[in-house]
Structure 1
Amino acid sequence: MALRLAHRMRLHSKQSTEFFSPEEIQQRSNVFWVAYILDKDISMRMQMPSGQIDQDIDVSLPPMNPAGVDNDTGLIWTRDRTTPFNLFRMRLDLAHIQGKLYDLIYSNRSLKINAIERQARVESLQKLLTTWMARIPAAFQIEHVAATVGEIEVTHMVKFYHSYLTTITFLHGIYSQQAEWVKRVGPQARYAIQDYTLAMSGHAADCLSEYLDPPAEKYWYHCVDISRFALKLFQEVAQTDWLVWQCTCAHFSGLVILLSNTIMYPTHEFASLDSEISTVSVQLLDKIVAESNHGDIFASLQHVVADLSTHAKAAVSSARLQQAAPDSEGMFGQSFQEDDWFPGQSALSTFGNGDQADLTGTFSLNTEIDPFLHAECDQGSAQVNLETIL
């Protein structure tokens, strides 16, 4: 509805700005891009076509380096005022990738492609996300931001990173029926998973579980790391009602990922930390179930989490017993290796063999977004030079 109103007001068209002042033009542009972010985010979450065709946009993107004190929309700073971060523009770029995620993975035509082509598209989208992440200054990276920014700013960063967590959850098939953690839970919990995904995504629940491949090994580890940092960051800020409800789906997906990882690898180096983080998140879930008007939805999730928690505790206990008896086999037998449960598909860097075209084409503003996102980044550098991205 918001996007349709924006279209009615011609906010996506430069031609409509002829009779407005520069300040009004800036405000109209900002309103449109906020609607764009919501549209692409909802499209990805609900697995429905977005309302905005990217090629139909001809207004300028918000600048990475707004000039002047009157044009600092979305810009936040570290406490010492030494490092800025354009939260608005970076969230907009993430929304663009979310739109491509729907078009290339979840759209009606994309559901008909073969597994190799789908995996190639996942690889390409993850490259976009990796480049996008590399543009975040070190002070605002997920593992540092709680210590470098103020209370208000860190709350916005919590929402920012939970949006990213949601994106990689959808991209890498965390709720795939073939995911190892889904196979490990009991039958009742598997039905509860279906109930929860149906409540969250409506008719798209089948897409979430049936058509997706389970996450590849390297991406599973990335999802685990982001889940750990995102949940920990959430627990370090004031948990207002609006923050809890905006982060709920991503937060509890992260909880599922952490518990599942403990089941698979009960002796991993962050097992104790993950147990502490998970305990706090489970308490939050119990509180929501007790107080929410949507208790039925979260009761299904509560059942899944309870089942995973039981399996995780059993796995840790068994692993400790095995460590106390060094002559015995591991809990999964002598041949167990940590990567046994991954499909081991080869990493592909392009959209398959060229038989399947990019369904969306290039973004109409591709000189400002896509090539920049595809640009090579120095992944070995922990500090991103701000001047190179502004």
Structure 2
Amino acid sequence: MRKLRKLKRSGTCKHNCSNCKANSKAQYQDQEDATETQAVEFGDVNNISGSMRLPSLEQTMHMIGVFLNTFNSMMPLFDPDSLLRLIGETYAVHPRQRDPVAWAVINVVLALARQQMPDDGDADAQYGTISDYLNKAQSVVWAVTLDETRLLNIQTLIGMAMLLQARSDLTPALVTISAAMRLIHKMGLHNRISTEHLGPVEQRQHARVFWLAYIVDKDLSLRAQQPSVQADDDIDLDLPIQLLRIDDSDVEAGIVTAFDGTSKMNYLLARIQLASIQGDVYDHLYSTRASKRTPEERRTLRERIVKSLDLWKATIPVEFNGANVMTTTSNNPSTATFLCILHTRSLLCMALITQAHAWDKQWVIGIRDHGRGTSLLELPIEWATMVEDARNYMTLYEQLNQKYKWLKWFAACTYISAMVLLMANNLNNPQQAEFHQDTMHIDKALVWFQDFFKDNSSTMSDMLGDVCTEAIKTMKQRRAEDIVTTVGDNWLAGFLDDRTMMR
């Protein structure tokens, strides 16, 4: 403790010289190492709130660099300068004297950075795990939610909710984003009036924080089939693209660029617009209010939502569709995960709109009965587009899921629904040109599905697994029969032609 008091008295250099920077870094690390010897291991939540230790400054700065260049460049949750200043201030004091909210922020950022690192055998040992960092942040959630309401508290909760989205149980994510939204309303971030007194940079950051919360809120609402917190008609705020200025140094935030620089897309804006459509899907088709509408009203609303989704899809450059993502983002592989999420949510919207998703019992039974020859399969009018999107999506997801295992729960429902779409298409038209390619996707997805639900089975998953196994066998039999019939017909036609010529 004597050493720590000496460090505090020494202060920091005002001249920002290189020697003092090095000394400052050493002081930060001395304070980190000076904490009592019972160091808190990753995930030891009971002791975390008492010590508030962090990794070495060197490791933290490396991971902050990863965060700023990957996650934050696509979903700008933090202003980089403000975040770096917060880290410096936090490392400058003894762990037990740290602000719990600042400590939670850093752990959330480290978890988001770790999420963007491909999974391999050494990464967890070297950099810690996502769950370890998240558990630490959650251990002081009382301070984040109940202390003085600041933008920092809201950013922390949004980051937590984003991480919790990748878990099997959505309840913690729903509760966390609800808390974030209530604090947002308390600060008035959903209304431009609340930030009129701020400078342009602060106004932009406040608006971005709101829109990121909006994305998570609408996304979780649709996935969990629960009402969202934020009503669209209670928003008076510019979209991010309207907040940029010609001389803005932050103009690239939220923008994804193809590796050759020929095409760009405003990813953040695309997610906000898609989130609005996700909200419409739930509000107009799945909410309690929607169930009280007449069939004609529901049909009209459905057509309007499909049109909105089609218009949205038309704004996505072809370079960033599911089939091209891996090539387009080869210079920055983690960018592909964000585009994968974009296509995950887009396809899920269409599957829910058309009720052609894997968890719709009527749809699954219809596929089973069609395979058995007892009924015809009613296909949505958007069928051809849905099949193409499902095919491209499965190609993309299969190239990413082994490197980024956190995508599993993010994408599970959509990936399984895509498998069922391709399976139904093969069953309905075994002569279609992509049959063999689609069958490879289906077989791979079925193995994934069976492994996925091995320890998490339910009545619906068991039924779906049985229907898929039966339907896949049937579609392959139909394909084989069609080939035999086609060969036989061609042989007979050739034989008759030969006999005619001989005459």
TM-score (norm 2): 0.55
- 1:306 equivalent in alignment to 2:306: no
Q: Distance in 2 between matches of 1:95 and 1:238?
A: 23
Q: Distance in 1 between matches of 2:293 and 2:214?
A: 28
Deviations 1:22-71 (A, max 9, x none): 33322221121111112222222333322111111112111079443324
| 1:182 partner letter | I
- 1:160 equivalent in alignment to 2:324: no
CA-CA distance at 1:319 after TM superposition: 2.6
Q: Distance in 1 between matches of 2:220 and 2:337?
A: 21
- 1:244 equivalent in alignment to 2:411: no
Structure 2 contact 184–210 (Cα < 8 Å) conserved: yes
SS in 1 for 2:382: helix
Q: Distance in 2 between matches of 1:65 and 1:286?
A: 47
SS in 2 for 1:158: helix
Out of 22, 40, 44, the position equivalent to 2:222 is: 44
Out of 18, 26, 29, the position equivalent to 2:207 is: 29
CA-CA distance at 1:322 after TM superposition: 3.1
- Count of residues paired in the alignment: 299
Partner residue, 1:276: 440
- 1:319 equivalent in alignment to 2:482: yes
Q: 1:69 to 1:261 in 2, by over 3 A?
A: same
Q: Distance in 1 between matches of 2:316 and 2:413?
A: 24
- 1:261 equivalent in alignment to 2:425: yes
Structure 2 contact 284–301 (Cα < 8 Å) conserved: yes
Structure 2 contact 391–422 (Cα < 8 Å) conserved: yes
Partner residue, 2:257: 77
CA-CA distance at 1:149 after TM superposition: 1.7
Partner residue, 2:354: 172
CA-CA distance at 1:186 after TM superposition: 6.6
SS in 2 for 1:236: helix
- 1:120 equivalent in alignment to 2:303: no
Deviations 1:243-280 (A, max 9, x none): 12211111111011111111111111110110111122
RMSD across aligned positions (CA): 2.7
Partner residue, 1:229: 392
| 1:38 partner letter | V
Structure 2 contact 323–395 (Cα < 8 Å) conserved: no
- 1:12 equivalent in alignment to 2:12: no
- 1:107 equivalent in alignment to 2:287: yes
Structure 1 contact 258–278 (Cα < 8 Å) conserved: yes
| 1:255 partner letter | M
CA-CA distance at 1:94 after TM superposition: 0.7
Q: 1:241 to 1:295 in 2, by over 3 A?
A: farther
Q: 1:265 to 1:66 in 2, by over 3 A?
A: farther
Structure 1 contact 289–295 (Cα < 8 Å) conserved: yes
Q: 1:284 to 1:178 in 2, by over 3 A?
A: closer
Partner residue, 1:95: 275
Q: Distance in 1 between matches of 2:401 and 2:244?
A: 29
CA-CA distance at 1:137 after TM superposition: 1.7
SS in 1 for 2:453: helix
TM-score (norm 1): 0.69
CA-CA distance at 1:221 after TM superposition: 1.8
Unaligned 5+ segments in structure 2 are: 1-177, 491-503
Out of 177, 182, 201, the position equivalent to 2:365 is: 182
| 1:112 partner letter | K
Larger radius of gyration: 2
Larger RCO (CA under 8 A, 6+ residues apart)? 1
